[in-house]
Chains A and B, each alone.
Chain A
Amino acid sequence: MSGFRLEKGGRIDRSRPLSFTFEGVSYEGYAGDTLGSALMANGVSMLGRSFKYHRPRGLLAAGLDEPNAIMQLEDGAQARPNVKATGVELYDGLRAAPVNAWPSLSFDLLSVNSMFARFIPAAFYYKTFMWPHWSLFEPAIRRAAGLGVSPEASDEDIYDKRYAACDVLVVGGGPAGLQAAQAASRSGARVMLVDHDAQWGGSLMASNRHVGQDPADDWIGRVVEELRAAPETQLLNRTLAFGFYDHGLVGLCERLTDHLPLAERSGPRLRFWKVRAKSVILATGAIERPLVFPNNDRPGVMLAGAGATYAARYAAAPGRRAVFAVNNDSGYESAAVLRRLGVDIAAIADARPGLSAKGAQMAASGINVFTASTITNVRGGKKVRAAELHKLDDDGQAVKGSAALVECDTVLTSGGWSPVVHLYSQAGGKLRFDEQIQAFVPRECGQHVLCVGAAGGEFSLTQGLADAARAGAAAARDCGFDAADIEPATVDGEAFGNIRPIWQVDVSGLAGERGKAWLDFQNDVTSDDVALAIRENFKSVEHVKRYTTLGMASDQGKTSNVNGIGVMEGALGKPMAQVGTTTFRPPYDPIEIGAFAGRRVGENIAPLRPLAAEDAHEMLGARFEDYGGWRRPAFYAQDGEDEHAAVRREALAVRDGVGLFEASPLGKIEVAGADAREFLNRFYVNNMATLKPQRCRYGVMLDENGVVLDDGVLACLGPNRYLAGTTSGHAALIADNMDEWLQCEWPDLDVVVQEVTTNWAVMNVNGPRARDLLRKFDCSIDLAAEAFPHMHVREGEIEGVACRIQRVSFSGELSYEVAVPWGFGASFWAALMDAGREFGVSPFGVETLMALRVEKGFLHVGADTDGMTLPQDIGFGGVISRKAADFIGRRSTMRPDSLRDDRRQFVGLECLDGSAKPLTVGAHVLLPESAPPALTQGWVTSSVYSAALGKPVALGMVANGRERIGEEVKIWDRGVSRRARISAPGAYDPEGKRLHV
């Protein structure tokens, strides 16, 4: 234990102590702490085990760049796996556990992996566990190398979504972001300023700096107050801008309740914002890079800036005696912060040959500064005991001689800073390598986006504020606002200096075993792994990433990418600018899937549409199913009936008496206009030019590939008025298609198309007593057989309500489809049930209707047809040959493949084995003597038990089937064969006598 709580200072509220547990042990922190800072203040330095080798790990960073301290929070429905301790605001009662240790952090059985470290290089698993198959080993390896545990209880939280638009979106609430937002906001532009932190100020927070004459905290407070007061400006803290998409769209995730104790949480947990900004200013800062040296992953080895942040912001010191290893001036400032707060600075190793001004200042104040030196090893296992420092040779590639062995309990390193260009790059921005700061910086972008401050590679705060002020005003002006330039303040304590890159130091000349140097802490990738990948000819930066896992997973290489590219530079002998970066992809930091799902979970993923008389169906015992997005009765179960019994009973009721079926979902599209007839004739396979008013015609529609797309009844309501019927699931699609053809291909036609499916509720009165039942109603339409024959349509009134009646039948019985305005649907159903009592009317469901239509051999598009079915395959060859005009898809029905005579055709299949069991849908049709494996002749597409015929009936698609009617075939399903005979479709009432009554 090396960390401790400083006596005073920090932005924590010592009057609000909070208790929490880590690995079951209770600790105390304060409001304002993160889980990471509270653990450090309690002296807990080991926070996790590494992914592959299970090495002990502690905090490296203080922000979202933290790769090691991955936590599992809470349990049950509240469980949150893989959370960075540095991004979790402490709350009372918080329970945290490490994710990758078993049985416990200090005694991890799998840490034996680290003893075999030399045997687990990059791609080791892929190379070793090849035989007989990787999948045999994968589960065990995944368990050993897993991260958090997926919650088993279902997530009870609510997730919110919001759309927003603004003129200027500023990402990052540090000095540059605040300054840019202020400049834009004063113009009156709509400004949004977002930061993932709970507090504003970024790197200025709790710093010792002054902005102008004022302490930094005062300046932050003043700017935030001004922005809060600006009516068109919105500030969102605890809000991460995680993705930059096309046309100025930025994804934000606002954490609304994660900082509260569980019992105090209410309302949505996260809010996912989709913000469309005219101009975006990225003030996302920079991430410090660790130095790469042996055992640089030991708990207690941290980034210098993070050490200063813990001490200054959270009053949590990383240790009592620190050694610094730096290659630029920023580390000196961090050392100064820690020293001021009482931490002993044992030594500073600076890779640069001469003393910088900062270095000289530090040396003059009595600190031991080693120039041209760096750290080459850390002594100690679970905590730091001492640092080895060595002199660097002249080109900075190797070490020579012995410099010092310095006792310490923490090591703080700074290998330079990398601008956070992730969002810029996601926006399509190109990067360039900046020699001055040895990092990738923004170059150009097609979108309206600008990086300011450290994110733009400008590490001087004074210059950064000036740039930000200018950028903010310019962004507002671009959006048409009259923005005045504001005079930015200067900031004291400038520090960065020049940098001496030492991506990897060759320590092979030193005596003794030193171990690995870590590049990517989260994925356990060492500099040796990168070297190995390159030796094996993985030379593209993207390939090295995949082969070694450098920069993968939730970390995405925040602290490791540039170091990795630096190591590649050495190994490939080509400059970093040419090595390039891997692609930056959203999200910048992991976002819970719930945020993206929002309210679209459970039954709201795809809400089902209710029927007009849903309540009545419910009361009648309907078993509902999802049919094409509609919640419809499959059947109505009586007295414990199963599906088969219910369907049999309902089917017989229709055949023998009368049934009632709600057919409201049937697609209804009104087509009107002077050219409606011409248009429909081009749309259907059938000749619709001859369809007369008050008549209906069954028709088939194709797509341009000639494939059967849909079918239905077209009703002619008047000379220029039609009602096109579609299948229930296809109404919107067909209406869309009609619009597309009219607008894009045939704009000269005078036609209007309107889908009216839900304007009309449709009740299907079906069966020999259907007319008797309807005659109970006061109806303006003459229902007599000769006045209103089969395939006719009438418009009129029923009980004073407008209605349309079509005499069409999908059952083969006398059948009326009666449409009334949707709002009358429920009462009409009730009246039909009531009036039908004397005829023994039976409600029937979709499954019963399907049984009736299979008995009749009526085609069901999508069940009997598939994506290869052409109209001639379902018996429309004659219709086509009698029609002269072109129609959609016609040319495709004439291709050589369409004219093959062995195409699969729609036929009936009659069972010959005497069994009552229907054939299996999908079973193969084979030649009687063939034994599988054999070339299939086709398959069963629909199959039911026919109550009316007392035997199973089936339909299928069979090669050249119409020519083969009467031929015996074998129906084969997963090893079981049955005998059947090919027949014409339609086993029940093949002459159709029952229709014309």
Chain B
Amino acid sequence: MLQISCPYCGARAEIEFRCGGQAHLERPGPHDQVSDRQWAEYLFYRDNPKGVSLERWVHRFGCRQWFNVARSTLTHEILAVYGMGEQPPQLEGTKR
């Protein structure tokens, strides 16, 4: 069970959070100008990095705020926590 530092509440156990999957996905639009391919990539295609994974989490049983996490998929180490809308910090092994 991870320990995650909510930017608003501080360090809490993983059971208080929910992972919302890959961060920094851009929703294509407007709907009538999006190709099937673009839409499929937005819906289904995800990175599967060996190394730094950028993902969004919500402090579900806490302040209910969403934020971004940079986590190593090798060690589960949390390398950075940063707000929604912010760019990820420069980390070795980050795929952008």
Contacts and interface: CB of A to CB of B under 8 A. Distances in A.
A615 interface: no
Contact of B58 (A246, A276, A705, A740): A740
Nearest to B30: A886
B77 A739 contact: no
Q: How large is the interface on B (under 10, 10 to 19, 20 to 34, 35 or more residues)?
A: 20 to 34
A276 B4 CA distance: 12
B1 A744 contact: no
A744 B66 contact: yes
B84 A743 contact: yes
B76 A246 contact: yes
Contacts of B29: 886, 891
Contact of A736 (B34, B60, B78): B60
B43 A705 contact: yes
Contacts of B66: 739-740, 743-744
Contacts of A215: none
A744 B56 contact: yes
B65 interface: yes
A434 interface: no
Interface in B23-38: 27-32, 34, 36
A446 B75 contact: yes
Contacts of A739: 58, 64, 66
A163 B15 CA distance: 12
B84 A428 contact: no
A247 B76 contact: yes
Interface string B58-84: 101000111000000001111000001
B94 interface: no
A669 to B, nearest CB: 13
Nearest to A742: B66
Contacts of A248: 3
A247 B36 CA distance: 41
Contacts of B43: 704-705, 892
B27 to A, nearest CB: 6
Contacts of A891: 28-29, 31, 34, 39
Contact of A747 (B13, B30, B56, B84): B84
Interface in A243-290: 245-249, 274, 276
Contacts of A163: 13
A892 B65 CA distance: 28
Nearest to A745: B27
Among A740, A891, A894, the one with the most B-chain Cβ atoms within 10 Å of its Cβ is A891
Interface in B1-28: 1-3, 13, 20, 27-28
A689 B32 CA distance: 20
B18 to A, nearest CB: 8
A740 B78 CA distance: 22
Nearest to A248: B3
A743 B85 CA distance: 9
A242 B56 CA distance: 31
Interface in A666-722: 704-705
Nearest to B29: A886
A636 to B, nearest CB: 36
Contact of B1 (A249, A704, A705, A736): A249
A896 interface: yes
Contact of A895 (B28, B39, B64): B39
A744 B20 contact: yes
B1 A246 contact: yes
A731 to B, nearest CB: 14
B20 A740 contact: yes
Given A740-B20, A744-B66, A890-B31, A247 B60 contact: no
A276 B3 contact: yes
A886 B31 contact: yes
A962 B32 CA distance: 27
Contacts of A895: 36, 39
A309 to B, nearest CB: 36
Interface in A846-886: 886
A736 B76 CA distance: 26
Contact of A247 (B3, B30, B56, B65): B3
A744 B55 CA distance: 12
A107 B25 CA distance: 69
B32 to A, nearest CB: 8
B65 to A, nearest CB: 7
A421 B45 CA distance: 40
A719 B20 CA distance: 32
A876 to B, nearest CB: 15
A975 B36 CA distance: 42
Contacts of A894: 31-32
Contacts of B1: 245-247, 249, 274
Interface of A: 163, 245-249, 274, 276, 428, 446, 704-705, 736, 739-740, 743-745, 747, 886, 890-892, 894-896
Nearest 4 A-B pairs (CB), nearest first? A247-B3, A446-B75, A743-B66, A891-B31
28 contacts: A247-B1, A247-B2, A247-B76, A249-B1, A276-B3, A276-B13, A446-B77, A704-B43, A705-B43, A736-B58, A736-B60, A739-B58, A740-B20, A740-B66, A743-B58, A743-B65, A743-B66, A743-B84, A744-B56, A747-B84, A890-B31, A891-B28, A891-B29, A891-B34, A892-B39, A892-B43, A894-B31, A896-B36
Given A247-B76, A249-B3, A894-B32, 10 more contacts: A163-B13, A248-B3, A274-B1, A428-B76, A736-B58, A736-B60, A739-B58, A740-B66, A743-B65, A891-B28
